[in-house]
Structure 1
Amino acid sequence: MRIVNDNELSLPASVVSIGAFDGLHKGHQTLIKQAVRRADELEVPSVVYTFDPPPRAYFQNQRVLTSIEEKLALIEKLNVDYTIVANFDQHYASKPPADFITELSQLNTREIWVGSDFHFGKGKQGNIELLSNYFTVNIHPFITCEQGEKISSTRIRELLQNNDWLEVYQLLGRNNLKTIDI
């Protein structure tokens, strides 16, 4: 897997999955695996576009579940060809949606895969509808656990506060929390 910064990659074709992917839980893994499968079917490179720190950590000072190093190691295990890591800071957060669309255009995306709550650009002005005006966008449904509850990074943070480690392990799909501050 090749790791690059935002605006450093240009490809003749690609399939891109986009998200903060904090914790890289089972829902994130399923979305990325689907994008990788489609890239393989289309015989083009797969790309994960993610952020460091995650936007919610930047704006809301939320606990980061996975360090960028661990996130990249986990993404690599999903057989992704490229990962773009955008440095999420004040400059990045102030960019208009058009800048993000321009950057994605450099990847010549055949398909984009996102979660149903995806927004982008300054003040979350960009949404799936806007992105769909430029690209083929696939919305991956939320993944639920055995109890039927939505798997999310927010839910994992709540479970951590309640010391519900078994449930955290199950939602993450792995039994190692080495980078989560306890």
Structure 2
Amino acid sequence: MQTIKDGVLTLKGSVIAIGAFDGVHKGHQAVIRQAVEQSLIHQVPSVVYTFDPPPRHFFKGAQILTPIQEKVRRIYKLGVNYVIVASFDEWYATRPPEDFISELSKLNPVEVSIGSEFRFGKNRKGDVELLKKYFQINVTLPVYCNDGELISSTRIRQLLSEGDYQQSYSLLGW
């Protein structure tokens, strides 16, 4: 287990899960577990690439569900080998999608796992289709709770604001 803060990690091969992963809720866990499973199959390290603060907090002031130390701890509990934490700031937010792709290339990914709504780069110009031009992509299907609603950080924040701690903790899965 190794956490890389704003550093460039170079690997001969990897499987990467990318996302804000705020809360590391059940949906996030599905993306990360998929990456860990594939890394074992391909016999390469698993890497989670995440952001601090989460982009939604940076742009919209959304409540942070999990402080970075706790987020990293939860990610490692899922069996990940490396966590890269990118400082999401004004400079990072203006990077073109190609910069991000170049950075990922240094990890030599065999596969990249993301959620279906993943966007990246300045003005969210990067998407699943752009990533597919460079990497083998595994889009993890959304995860729904028993009542059929999508599990998301936004929904968990809403439940917390309503005081529904029991359901929000259930969606987090911790």
TM-score, normalization: structure 1? 0.94
Matched letter for residue 165 of structure 2: W
The runs of 5 or more residues in structure 2 that have no matched partner are none
For 1:180, the equivalent position in structure 2 comes to: none
User: After the TM superposition, which residues 4-43 of structure 1 pair with which residues of structure 2 at under 5 Å, given as runs?
Assistant: 4-43=4-43
Matched letter for residue 138 of structure 1: N
The runs of 5 or more residues in structure 1 that have no matched partner are 175-182
For 2:51, the equivalent position in structure 1 comes to: 51
The two structures, once aligned, show a CA RMSD in angstroms of 0.7
Asked if residue 130 in structure 1 is aligned to residue 127 in structure 2, the reply is no
C-alpha separation between the residues in 1 aligned to 2:30 and 2:135?
Answer: 21
Displacement after TM superposition at 1:5 (Å): 2.5
User: After the TM superposition, which residues 1-182 of structure 1 pair with which residues of structure 2 at under 5 Å, given as runs?
Assistant: 1-174=1-174
CA contact (8 A) 1:23 1:66 kept: yes
Displacement after TM superposition at 1:8 (Å): 1.6
Detail structure 1 runs of 4+ shifted over 2 Å in the superposition.
none
Displacement after TM superposition at 1:133 (Å): 0.2
Sequence identity percentage: 53
SS at match of 1:126: coil
SS at match of 1:119: coil
TM-score, normalization: structure 2? 0.98
CA contact (8 A) 1:49 1:84 kept: yes
Q: Deviations over 1:93-145 (max 9, x none)?
A: 01000100000000000000000000000010111100100000111011000
Q: Deviations over 1:23-52 (max 9, x none)?
A: 110110111011100000110000000000
Work out the number of aligned pairs and report it. 174
Displacement after TM superposition at 1:9 (Å): 0.1
C-alpha separation between the residues in 1 aligned to 2:120 and 2:165?
Answer: 32
